[in-house]
């Protein structure tokens, strides 16, 4: 697509529920990133995919968070047993392969998750 697409735009869930957030990157962008942005803060890195594999998942806060990218395109961020502290905007970004894109990320508009 022309840009990075994220769905849903907004998600409200109850504490303890499971949620999935989807990211559709720019066509041809093999690198994909997830960031989390809490209210009034800058985004924080969660995970980076190069192709289908997670090249760096050091930012995932705990084992309730998991992300997949089975075909090297669309990615899904999965959060189990949601907690109120998970409420944030989850941003996805994509970029060209390393060495070709001057390290430039294109971001989506994010998915705002609210856990009641």
12 binds other proteins (CB under 8 A): no
Closest approach, Cβ 34 to other proteins, in A, equals 11
* Binding residues among 46-85 for other proteins as defined by CB under 8 A: 48, 56
Alpha-carbon distance values, 35 to 24, 28, 99 (Å): 15, 20, 22
Nearer to other proteins, 31 or 79 (CB): 31
Closest listed residue to residue 21, CA positions, set 1, 42, 37, 5: 5
As measured in angstroms, the least distance from the Cβ of 43 to other proteins is: 5
Binding residues for other proteins restricted to 94-113, rule: CB under 8 A: 95, 98, 102-110, 112
Our CB check for other proteins shows the closer of 19 and 43 to be 43
């Amino acid at each position: 697509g022309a840009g990075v697409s994220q769905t849903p735009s907004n998600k409200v869930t109850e504490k303890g529920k499971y949620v999935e957030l989807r990211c559709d990157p720019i066509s041809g962008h093999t690198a994909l990133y997830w960031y989390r942005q809490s209210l009034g803060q800058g985004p924080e890195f969660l995970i980076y995919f190069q192709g289908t594999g997670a090249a760096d998942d050091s930012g995932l806060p705990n084992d309730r968070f998991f992300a997949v990218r089975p075909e090297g395109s669309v990615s899904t961020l999965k959060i189990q047993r949601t907690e109120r502290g998970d409420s944030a905007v989850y941003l996805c970004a994509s970029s060209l392969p390393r060495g070709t894109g001057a390290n430039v990320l294109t971001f989506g508009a994010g998915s705002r998750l609210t856990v009641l």
